[in-house]
Structure 1
Amino acid sequence: MVEGRKILGDPAAIKQQFPIFSEYPELVYLDNAATTQRPQQVINRINNFHQQENATIRRGVYQLSARATQEFEAARSTVANFFKAPQDDCIAFTQGATESVNIVARSIIKEKLKPGDNIVVSLMEHHANFVPWQMLSQATSTELRVVPITESGDLDLDKLNSLIDSRTAVVAIVHISNTLGTINPIKVITQMAHAKEVPILIDAAQSATLYPINLTELDCDFLVCSAHKMFGPFGVGVLYVHPRYHRQVQPYNYGGGIIRSVKVEGTEFLPYPHLLEAGTPNVAGVIGLAEAIRVIKKFDRESLVKQLHKLTQIARQKLADIEGLSLVGNPTLSSSIISFSLAGMHPHDVASFLNEDHIAVRAGQHCTQPLLDYLGWPATVRVSLSIYNNLQDVDRLADSLREMKDFLI
């Protein structure tokens, strides 16, 4: 039996592992695309580090430091194993997915760019995987090529293939859109890029938790994600770099912790991944991420994704039945993210009204302004479900929206 199967199909039992729901019993938390809640097991592990293990890593010869160093490096192995990376040293720890993308842009790709080259991104990218490439292209006189989407919200794969050519320096594509919920076929896209000998970066911020990723099989060049969307803490990110690029990585920050030797004449740095971990890292956060992964591995993720898909389909139908409510996008393959607009009401007003009913949703542009500009929406309301959401949450959302519509429109 898969460990944790006993609680599958019962989000209420899963919810009991997350103390925030005991603190706020009326809370319907539907903003998981922004950040997920943390289970007690993760909170306990982080607190335990602060209370019993706190020390800086690597440079101390005393027991606490040695133990912290061991736990930090064990976390690297845990992350590598979770994503089935070919080697533990493919994983570097950063401040988040945003910093991870910037590192790839400025510490790897920038070094190989020449005027006339191009960078390929998609229209559905989060600003974190759009703006760094836009800034880099402007700074280096290279072209930013943006892949359009179809009317349903799918990536235009034919156009993507045509935009990749011999002068493409990198393709940067999101796995799951944080606004439309579109699930992109990253294996196909990776093969498409590699067929033209172009490296590819995958933004897995929305997929890393529940959609198993086998990096050895996928063979992408770079992958990024954030701990706080994986039931882990803020301030910790993952950067995966394929071994074929390890020697090309340059330090992103300079300081202690990445040094092999410093002389007046010059400095020699440690190899990747350590050369990206300057200063004192977020040791407690990295250990917390490893603990979050241990929580995730208790569950049968395939079954959980199927449950969430069914719940999301029900939610989409209940929302679509509300007069004046427009769903944004209807991708062929979608995750548990739904964006919508309600006629006659600004999304911020909708979110504020829902908040009065203890329902937490996101309103705005979701860091995807180019996408919403293209779709003609100034802003939307976004609902994003996770493993602790259930049908009662969906019903409360729909009922509250109907009540709001009857009251204000």
Structure 2
Amino acid sequence: MPINIDHIRGLFPVLHQEVNGRPLVYFDNAATTQKPLAVINALSDYYKKDNSNIHRGAHTLADRATRYYEATRGLVKSFINAKEEAEIIFTKGTTEGINLVAATFGRKFIQEGDEIIISTLEHHSNIVPWQMLCEEKGAVLKVIPINEAGELDMQAFDELLTSKTKLVSVVHVSNALGTINPVAEIIQKSHQKGAKVLLDGAQSTSHLEIDVQALDCDFMAFSAHKLYGPTGLGVLYGKREVLDAMPPYQGGGEMIKEVTFAKTTYNEIPFKFEAGTPNIGDVIAFGKALEFINETGKKAIKAYEDELLSYATEQLEQIKGFIPVGTAKNKVSVISFNINGMHPFDVGMMLDANGIAVRTGHHCTQPLMQRFGIEGTVRASFSVYNTKSEIDTLVASVSKIAKIKNK
């Protein structure tokens, strides 16, 4: 079904306000998406009606909270087509998911001289944990280069991949450029060498249909807040056989079967990796975000966002002084750019004065910015509730700003 934009925009209260005397145009969706009223209400309702700790209580509130919490795990399982709910671990976000793998799988299975491969496109959260692990273990970190369009050099990847490679951890979709990486090919080639693969799905899960069984990735980490859900919540998917082989991430309640002062036996997955009281209310509210996506339809969302991307790209490229950064053939709805002669922060401030919210800076991808020889970019990222009319507002504002330096 085609997108009913008026209906969808009506679901998001935050969009209907003025900023600096102008109607808000929210183009910072790659940083975080806005939340539909159903998500906001679900969070409020949990604390009004169902607030209780889960799994261990015998009373009605505990039972309700547990059922609602575990229902979201089932929705996530279906959303990414995992084989079973036990493969879904709730975390604080993509960052914690990656760190969990580094601290458990990494410390158990990565040895001195082993190799880990990442890419130039990575967010800092998919660089720093592996640097820390390699320093601790004496392992080697290798980096897949990119071309001028912001696409992975797959020939170079083939040369980097060896029998010493134990893990390949790459972003599915670049947060800074919008590039969609050929992850199916990366996974297949990595498995041929016996390496496990982790996908950073922080951006891809909100734009693309995800099937972890078809992809055959060993891990995928992503965040709820980029999927119209609450902040401070994420998911780590892992294949059962890999998760079972990994030690716990943290010690505490829920992740145990039995504790004595002599010995502790650990719980089954996913609870082995969910120590302590979890983020119950936000998990329950995240279920409503997934229901919103399912009701709208992933295919319809992607088709609409692709239309916005094409329209915005065509309009912006006509502006004198507009410098696109990242021109991959296969992209999601992200446009990263600079204005000739202007700092991206200054451009962002001028856009904000017109009520337009964009992200400026290095986008937690400093090595990527260094690859292009720039400090940062202006990033406009579009979601299903954005409109061509809003893009027209962006284009008009960028055009006026560009004329300051490019007369």
- Tell me if both proteins adopt one fold, taking TM over 0.5 as the criterion: yes
Structure 2 CA distance for aligned equivalents of residues 223 and 403 of structure 1: 42
Which residue in 2 is equivalent to 1:15? 9
Of 310-319 and 51-60, deviating more is: 310-319
Match for 1:402: what amino acid? Answer: S
Structure 2 CA distance for aligned equivalents of residues 356 and 81 of structure 1: 42
Structure 1 residue 84, shift from structure 2 partner: 0.8
The 3-state SS of whatever aligns with 1:322 is coil
1:3-402 matches, within 5 Å, as: 5=1, 8-24=2-18, 26-402=23-399
Aligned positions, number: 403
Give the conservation status (yes or no) of the 8 Å contact 2:116–2:139.
yes
Structure 2 CA distance for aligned equivalents of residues 392 and 110 of structure 1: 51
Give the conservation status (yes or no) of the 8 Å contact 2:319–2:399.
yes
Change over 3 Å in CA distance of 1:408–1:165 after alignment to 2: closer
For 1:150-173, what per-residue CA distance to the aligned partner results, in whole angstroms no more than 9, with x for missing partners? 121111112112211111110001
Structure 1 residue 12, shift from structure 2 partner: 3.1
Of 220-229 and 325-334, deviating more is: 325-334
The 3-state SS of whatever aligns with 1:77 is helix
The 3-state SS of whatever aligns with 1:209 is helix
Structure 1 residue 408, shift from structure 2 partner: 6.4
Match for 2:142: what amino acid? Answer: R
Structure 1 CA distance for aligned equivalents of residues 4 and 77 of structure 2: 30
Structure 2 CA distance for aligned equivalents of residues 47 and 408 of structure 1: 48
The 3-state SS of whatever aligns with 1:56 is coil
Structure 1 residue 254, shift from structure 2 partner: 1.4
Structure 2 CA distance for aligned equivalents of residues 164 and 271 of structure 1: 33
Q: TM-score, with normalisation over the residues of structure 1?
A: 0.96
Structure 1 CA distance for aligned equivalents of residues 33 and 343 of structure 2: 25
For 1:208-262, what per-residue CA distance to the aligned partner results, in whole angstroms no more than 9, with x for missing partners? 1231111121111000100000000001100001012122222212111212111
The 3-state SS of whatever aligns with 1:169 is strand
Structure 1 residue 10, shift from structure 2 partner: 3.6
Structure 1 residue 358, shift from structure 2 partner: 0.5
For 1:265-309, what per-residue CA distance to the aligned partner results, in whole angstroms no more than 9, with x for missing partners? 121111221011111100011111111101100123213212211
Structure 1 CA distance for aligned equivalents of residues 334 and 399 of structure 2: 20
Of 82-91 and 304-313, deviating more is: 304-313
Give the conservation status (yes or no) of the 8 Å contact 1:109–1:169.
no
Of all paired residues, the percent bearing the same amino acid is: 40
Structure 2 CA distance for aligned equivalents of residues 77 and 138 of structure 1: 38
Give the conservation status (yes or no) of the 8 Å contact 2:17–2:23.
no
Structure 2 CA distance for aligned equivalents of residues 309 and 390 of structure 1: 12
For 1:124-177, what per-residue CA distance to the aligned partner results, in whole angstroms no more than 9, with x for missing partners? 011111111111111211110000011211111121122111111100011110
Structure 2 CA distance for aligned equivalents of residues 408 and 295 of structure 1: 43
Give the conservation status (yes or no) of the 8 Å contact 1:175–1:204.
yes
Match for 2:167: what amino acid? Answer: V
For 1:40-61, what per-residue CA distance to the aligned partner results, in whole angstroms no more than 9, with x for missing partners? 1111111111110110111211
Ranges in structure 1 where 5+ consecutive residues have no aligned partner: none
The 3-state SS of whatever aligns with 2:23 is coil
Structure 2 CA distance for aligned equivalents of residues 273 and 109 of structure 1: 18
